[in-house]
Amino acid sequence: MNRIAILYQAQITPVKDGIQKPMKPGGYSDSGADIAFELIKNNINVITPVENPNQNNDKDWVFPDTKIGIEAALQKGAKIFWLNTVLYKHHNIENYFNKGLEFVGQTTKLVDVYDDKMFTNSLLKSNNIPIPKNELITIENYNNLLLELEFPVVLKPIRGRGSQGVTKIENSKELTNNLNKIFKKSSYGNAAYVEQYLYGQEITITVMPQGNYVINNKKEYFNRPWCLPAVKRFNHNNGIAPYNGTVAVMENSEVLSDKELQTTEIQEVYEHCIKSAQLIEIKAPIRIDCRANDEGKYFLFDLNMKPNMTGPSRPHRKKQDSLTLLSARKIGWNYFDLLSNILNQKWKFNS
């Protein structure tokens, strides 16, 4: 196979329409290093910035997603770029789309558009996909806010990252205090949104793009996106699943039982997730967080364009299964199986 370079996010994304997406410390270099280490361990041709990378140093294994970083990877013979970074329109990688290279990940245009959760919610709603009721809040209107939603609500960044900055709000005073904090810090830009709080079970579903896969040593072709088994979340902190940088997902998540996976409610939400993935034309896995109402009906509340892909490849990372890997294990995949199947979906840019 051609040489693979794995990119990580080296700098914060540009502000778009007044909205800022927060940056993960390290820019996903941790999961990038996990991926590189696992692939190399299984004799996949991955190049690294240094000749003898230290397994404890994440950035020895991955290239920054800057022009200098991409050019350095090309100098070392990279023909495939694994985009383990946050993408956006005019990202540096766009300059290399028409160079005959192959890519693993989403397109920059897709992420730029659908990372906006309000826009994506509107798209899903218009296609009869159930989402929680929500309302936009801006820095201009939040002091005179008259919410139509009843408390409690969930306050969220518009271009958020996992559960970072997500807060359950019990009353208007608490909402005002939290809005004051986030607008003062400008961590998420000049707008946010609230959505109704749902009291039912929370699950996460990884949706894989259509394509060829190997499952239980058999080749399978999926002619549309498909779902890995749903993972349920528990041990919430004030009603919100804790950020996985604080609590490892293995400590608060598990795949649903066989009986639960066969319920009508889960099968229905799978179809909604597949339809969502078709609408946005995914080229790599996405992760969709869903939550049930009092009657057990699931609503999609977050489409994550770049699921975390951490894994237990290095000795000091043994409890770093991502939500997607937890799910993949249910169908018999280990970390390498998951990564190699994702790698099989690599694509070339067609102008």
- Tell me, yes or no, whether 329 and 209 share the same domain: yes
- Give CA–CA dist 116/21, Å, rounded: 9
Mark which of 171, 196, 221 sits at the end of a domain.
Answer: 196
Q: Is residue 125 part of a domain?
A: no
CATH code for the domain of 251: 3.30.470.20
Domain of residue 91, residue span: 4-105
Q: Is residue 110 part of a domain?
A: no
The residue assigned the tokens 């999961």 is 31
Mapped onto helix, strand or coil, the DSSP state of residue 206 is strand
Check residue 350 and give its pLDDT: 82
- Tell me, yes or no, whether 209 and 192 share the same domain: no
Q: Read off the pLDDT of residues 197-240 as tens digits, 9 standing for 90 and up.
A: 999 999 999 999 999 999 999 999 999 999 999 999 998 888 88
**What is the residue-level pLDDT of the chain in tens, covering all 351 positions?**
799 999 999 999 999 989 999 899 999 999 999 999 999 999 999 999 999 999 999 999 999 999 999 999 999 999 999 999 999 999 999 999 999 999 999 999 999 999 999 999 999 999 999 999 999 999 988 877 888 999 999 999 999 877 788 999 999 999 999 999 889 888 889 999 999 999 999 999 999 999 999 999 999 999 999 999 999 999 888 888 776 556 778 889 999 999 999 999 999 999 999 999 999 999 999 999 999 999 999 999 999 999 999 999 999 999 899 999 999 999 999 999 999 999 999 999 986
- Tell me, yes or no, whether 334 and 249 share the same domain: yes
Check residue 351 and give its pLDDT: 60
Q: Is residue 113 part of a domain?
A: no
Q: Is residue 117 part of a domain?
A: no
- Give CA–CA dist 156/168, Å, rounded: 9
Mark which of 159, 175, 196 sits at the end of a domain.
Answer: 196
Measure the CA dihedral 182/187/190/195, to 10°. Answer: -60
The residue assigned the tokens 């993408």 is 87
- Tell me, yes or no, whether 96 and 164 share the same domain: no
- Tell me, yes or no, whether 80 and 149 share the same domain: no
CATH code for the domain of 140: 3.30.1490.20
- Tell me, yes or no, whether 44 and 139 share the same domain: no
Check residue 246 and give its pLDDT: 61
- Tell me, yes or no, whether 278 and 317 share the same domain: yes
Check residue 163 and give its pLDDT: 79
- Tell me, yes or no, whether 246 and 151 share the same domain: no
* pTM across the whole model: 0.95
- Tell me, yes or no, whether 209 and 160 share the same domain: no
Rg (CA), the chain: 20
Which residues, other chains included, contact 343 with Cβ-Cβ below 8 Å and sequence gap of 6+? 4, 39, 44, 80, 82, 104
Check residue 244 and give its pLDDT: 59
Mapped onto helix, strand or coil, the DSSP state of residue 46 is strand
Q: Read off the pLDDT of residues 91-150 as tens digits, 9 standing for 90 and up.
A: 999 999 999 999 999 999 999 999 999 999 999 999 999 999 999 999 988 877 888 999
- Give CA–CA dist 294/308, Å, rounded: 29
- Tell me, yes or no, whether 222 and 331 share the same domain: yes
Total domains in the fold of the chain: 3
- Tell me, yes or no, whether 330 and 208 share the same domain: yes
Which residue type does 65 have? D
Q: Is residue 180 part of a domain?
A: yes
Closest CA to 285 of 190, 166, 214, 205: 205
- Tell me, yes or no, whether 318 and 267 share the same domain: yes
Per DSSP, helices labelled H in the chain are: 29-41, 67-75, 108-114, 117-126, 172-185, 258-261, 264-280, 323-329, 335-343
